[in-house]
Amino acid sequence: MKEKLIECFKTLIQFDTTSDPDSSTYPSTEVQMDFAEVMAGELMKAGIMDIDIDEYGYVTGTLPGNTDGPVIGFISHMDTSPDCSGFGIRPMIIENYDGNVIKRTGAPLSPDEFPELKLYTGKTIICSDGTTLLGADDKAGCAEILTALSYLAEHTEIKHPTVKVAFTPDEEIGAGVDHFDVEKFGCDFAYTVDGGILGEISYENFNAARAKIDIRGKSVHPGSAKGLMVNAALIGCEINSMLPQNETPADTEGYEGFYHLTKMSGNVENAHLDYIIRDFDRESFEKRKRNIENIVSSLNNKYGKDTISIDLYDEYYNMAEVIKEHSYVPDRAIKAIEKAGVKPLVEPIRGGTDGARLSFMGLPCPNIFTGGYNFHGPYEFICVESMEKAVETIINIVKG
């Protein structure tokens, strides 16, 4: 199984499937629709039936059951993060890792900077050459689902209910299930295979909103600007200075929320800021949104009406609100992880998954681990033995 899993993963990461948050199409990039055809072919090779690619790029299929039981779904996303290049990924496979610095074309992977590397001494690690991300988020999940379902299709003696699979586009830009048809998918519950470290299972995630702020300034010659110039770029800096400076991703952990400036551009006449706003607690989440709206309002009072405009909208909510009514779903996964000989790690997701929104769409959908670290950048790596345990966990969930 190990070699099959590695080859599947290596095949999938050859395709650049970066999503684009500024696109008006769905999927946001044409390459994702092309990759949907690749995934359909992989499902066919795995022995999956009723394979379909719809107009939005969702790839679905069915492994028919041979015994009674709930219809269970597994979901992973096809796109990779726009935060780092996903083009021309050159994987490095380090067998029997010695615990030392991994030298690469790009920045090295050092256990001094990333101590968790030491946990995988003697194991097989996959990383990129340091010039791109690796794509384990979430092509590791895709490969693990494909490998697990292929195993079940080959081993017909294993009793299992009907299993559904879906591969989604645009998860990385918060649009993964914008057009997902839960009723057509036809599952009683599902799991996203989109998590991190070995044994992790998550059924809590951030409440999430996005704020897009545009600032209109007034440009005049700096030699005669007194009382006339309105510098949009400086107002952008002022907005950011008015937010809590210790409530950023770099300063928070666990259940702590944050404001995250993801993009800033501009000049004297016009400036633009993008923020994501995150908090586990719904009340605190609403306070954060009001805070940023109040900042905009106060600066409009200072610089003139309509100097600043804000587009503030919610992206997803904490799935814990839904999962608490369906505790048997995470319980089944916890039991499956234990059967794989792994200690379950029940952790909140400091982010979101397709499962967060699906849970509110009527499909309870916790998230299980893939085995990776440092997603969305060139320091990403994954342990193959952890990937094998993810495959084993998926099989155990199906067997019940």
The verdict on 228 and 116 lying in the same domain is no
**CA separation for the pair 205, 355 (Å, rounded):** 10
- Do 322 and 364 fall within a single domain? yes
Final residue of a structural domain among 282, 299, 316: 316
Question: What per-residue confidence (pLDDT) applies to 116?
Answer: 95
146/223 same-domain check = no
> Do both 253 and 161 map to the same domain?
no
Report how far apart, in Å, the C-alpha atoms of 163 and of each of 64, 101, 142, 258, 276 are. Answer: 6, 42, 15, 38, 35
Dihedral, CA of residue 89, residue 90, residue 96 and residue 99, to nearest 10 = -70
Among residues 316, 342, 358, the one where a domain terminates is 316
Same domain, 181 and 326: yes
CATH number at residue 79: 3.40.630.10
Domain limits for position 310: 207-316
Same domain, yes or no: 96 and 164: yes
Residues annotated as catalytic (active site), given as ranges = 79, 171
Report pLDDT for 351: 82
Query: What pLDDT was estimated at residue 353?
Result: 82
Are both 108 and 255 inside the same structural domain? no
Q: Write the single-letter amino acid at 168.
A: T
Task: Say whether both 277 and 332 belong to one domain.
Answer: no
Residues 43 and 173 in one domain: yes
Whether the CA torsion 233, 234, 235, 236 is positive or negative: it is positive
What are phi and psi for residue 19, nearest 5 degrees? -90, 165
Whole-angstrom distance, CA of residue 178 vs CA of residue 164: 19
Q: What is the enclosing helix (H) or strand (E) of 399?
A: helix 384-399
Residue 75 pLDDT = 98
Q: Are residues 264 and 165 both part of a single domain?
A: no
Whole-number pLDDT of residue 191: 98
CATH code where residue 233 lies: 3.30.70.360
Q: How many domains are contained in the chain? A: 2
> Are 194 and 228 in a shared domain?
no
Same domain, 212 and 178: no
pLDDT tens for the chain, 400 residues long, are: 899 999 999 999 999 999 999 999 999 999 999 999 999 999 999 999 999 999 999 999 999 999 999 999 999 999 999 999 999 999 999 999 999 999 999 999 999 999 999 999 999 999 999 999 999 999 999 999 999 999 999 999 999 999 999 999 999 998 999 999 999 999 999 999 998 899 999 999 999 999 999 999 999 999 999 999 999 999 999 999 999 999 999 999 999 999 999 999 999 999 999 999 999 999 999 999 999 999 999 999 999 999 999 999 998 999 999 999 999 999 999 999 999 999 999 989 888 789 999 999 999 999 999 999 999 999 999 999 999 999 999 999 999 8
Sheet of 189-193: strand order equals 49-53, 59-63, 163-168, 72-77, 189-193, 367-368, 200-202, 345-346
Can you give the length of the chain in residues?
400
- Partner residues linked to 199 by β-bridges: none
Decide which of 316, 331, 358 is a domain's last residue. 316
